[in-house]
Amino acid sequence: MRLLIVEDSADIAANLGAFFEGRGHAVDFAEDGLAGLQLATTLEFDVILLDIMLPGLDGLEFARQLREVEAVGTPILMLTARDTLDDRLAGFRAGGDDYLVKPFSLLEVEARVHSLFKRARGGPQGVLQVADLRFDTRTLELERGGRGIQLKPMARRLLEILLRAHGRAMSREALEHAMWGEDVPEVDALRVHVHALRHAIDGPGEKALLHTIRGVGYRLADLDT
């Protein structure tokens, strides 16, 4: 795995880094939220280990921007001394996937990281899956319940973004930014690609997986699980 550790405590970052590098994983570091966000949006990571109390940009805002502005779905394990229920809920609302209170055991951190990694992959390495919809990011093969599906490149890009969001609702703005950056088409191109994707993956008699969240955006999820 490739991990990003965003932690301003040099001792904690060093301990985590030495532990995971000793397990054969690649580790990158950032000492503040802004530097971490830049790394998380320009490089590919499998899991982010994120402190909440960070200089420059705190962990909650880091997670919110990563999810809502940059549309990056990399799993986030939040590491913090804050241990109240309200603190945990704030972390999950911001976009965290798991939450571990300091001080922690390195073995427990490892277990949480592996769990997030497996859940994000949804199956064999490179395969993203929701219900019976499977997309292999290496071969670009897409199928649902054994039915092969062909998509045009932009609809396929939209599908991958939604799959990597792990079932979260994504705003129209976040999706448009992820697909076109600053050059968003003047016409409502997103709606066109959403329509094409829905028509392709939600066939007659199949459970709907692509959902419109009114006033927010879209979500790809099996709502029965």
If you average pLDDT over residues 172-199, what whole number do you get?
87
Q: Is the pLDDT of residue 187 over 90?
A: no
- 108: domain CATH number is 3.40.50.2300
Distance, CA of 124 to CA of 111 (rounded, Å)? 18
Tokens of 68: 């809502």
From 121, 146, 178, the end of a domain falls on: 121
Residue type, 186: E
pLDDT band for position 129 (cuts 50, 70, 90): confident
Q: Are residues 71 and 162 located together in one domain of the fold?
A: no
Q: Is residue 215 part of a domain?
A: yes
Domain coverage including residue 180: 127-220
Q: Is the pLDDT of residue 20 over 70?
A: yes
Could you write out the three-class secondary structure of 69-135? HCCCCCCEEEEECCCCHHHHHHHHHHCCCEEEECCCCHHHHHHHHHHHHHHHHCCCCCEEEECCEEE
Of residues 220 and 138, more confidently modeled: 220
Whole-structure pTM over 0.85, yes or no? no
Q: Is residue 166 part of a domain?
A: yes
Q: Are residues 8 and 117 located together in one domain of the fold?
A: yes
If you average pLDDT over residues 159-175, what whole number do you get?
83
Q: Are residues 105 and 139 located together in one domain of the fold?
A: no
Q: Are residues 117 and 7 located together in one domain of the fold?
A: yes
pLDDT score recorded for residue 8: 92
Distance, CA of 201 to CA of 13 (rounded, Å)? 43
Furthest-apart CA pair in the chain: how many Å?
A: 56
Of residues 35 and 170, more confidently modeled: 35
Q: Are residues 144 and 193 located together in one domain of the fold?
A: yes
From 72, 91, 121, the end of a domain falls on: 121
Count of C-beta atoms within a 10 Å radius of residue 133: 24
| Percentage of the chain exceeding pLDDT 90 | 48
Q: For the chain, give the mean pLDDT.
A: 88
Opening angle at CA 219, ends 215 and 220, nearest 5: 165
Q: Are residues 144 and 114 located together in one domain of the fold?
A: no
Q: Is residue 79 part of a domain?
A: yes
- 177: domain CATH number is 1.10.10.10
pLDDT band for position 19 (cuts 50, 70, 90): very high
Of 8, 18, 3, 20, give the one whose Cα is nearest residue 102: 8
From 121, 149, 165, the end of a domain falls on: 121
Q: Is the pLDDT of residue 211 over 80?
A: yes
Q: Are residues 206 and 161 located together in one domain of the fold?
A: yes
pLDDT in tens, 191-203: 999 999 999 999 9
Q: Is the pLDDT of residue 125 over 70?
A: no
pLDDT in tens, 99-124: 888 888 999 999 999 888 877 665 55
Q: Is residue 225 part of a domain?
A: no
pLDDT score recorded for residue 225: 61
Residue type, 99: Y
Q: Are residues 76 and 186 located together in one domain of the fold?
A: no
Contacts from 104-107 at CB under 8 Å and sequence distance 24+? 104/79, 106/15, 106/16, 106/19
pLDDT in tens, 40-79: 988 888 899 999 999 989 999 999 888 878 778 888 999 9
Domain count, the chain: 2
Within 8 A by CB and 6+ apart from 31, the residues are: 7, 8, 10, 13, 55
Q: Are residues 177 and 150 located together in one domain of the fold?
A: yes
Of 67, 91, 15, 92, give the one whose Cα is nearest residue 171: 67
CB 161 within 8 A of CB 178: yes
Q: Are residues 9 and 103 located together in one domain of the fold?
A: yes
Q: Are residues 94 and 12 located together in one domain of the fold?
A: yes
Of 60, 61, 55, 67, give the one whose Cα is nearest residue 86: 60
Beta strands in 150-195, from DSSP E residues, in sequence order:
170-171
Q: Are residues 27 and 69 located together in one domain of the fold?
A: yes
